[in-house]
Amino acid sequence: MSKFLVLSVLIGLFCQVTIGLLTEDDLDDTDRHCIKKLNYDTKVILDSFDKDNFIVGNPEVYKFVECGWKRDKLVSDEGSFNIDNIKKMIEFLLETKMNIKNPDKRNALSGDSLNHCKDIKGDHVGEKIVNMFNCLLKYVMEHLED
């Protein structure tokens, strides 16, 4: 799980959202890099999730996700989302973690979720990322059975 920051977070949440648990085992190399770079306590990041998403309003979480998304090229240094990379990540997760083998269904769900969340805003890059993450996760979880 070293390609994308979101990969580990979404995997953790996709697989554990129903029980609301994240552990240090859910953190990948990017997560650890950003925790170390920002000199954060791992518990701060693990506790930054409720059962469904990132908790909004925590400046430490905003800095953490910005660090990871930039490092994994999901967002540019200027704060623009790399939609192609995010779409690939979602499709990968749907196939490997949610066992959706139909490529048309993966493509449709990833595209639909990104289209649904395309106008996400935030006062700064970190908040925008958290809002995008929460929107994508909610959309995907609500439409898995469609």
- What SS3 state is found at 81? strand
49-95 residue pLDDT tens: 765 667 788 899 999 999 999 999 999 988 999 999 999 989 988 89
C-alpha distances in angstroms, 74 versus 19, 42, 91, 106, 121?
27, 22, 14, 19, 16
Whether this prediction's pTM lies above 0.85 is answered by no
Superfamily for 5-143? Pheromone/general odorant binding protein domain (1.10.238.20)
Average pLDDT of the chain is: 82
Identify any residues that bridge with 87 across adjacent strands, giving them in sequence order: none
Task: Sketch the domain layout of the chain as residue ranges.
Answer: 5-143
Between CA 65 and CA 26 the distance in angstroms is 15
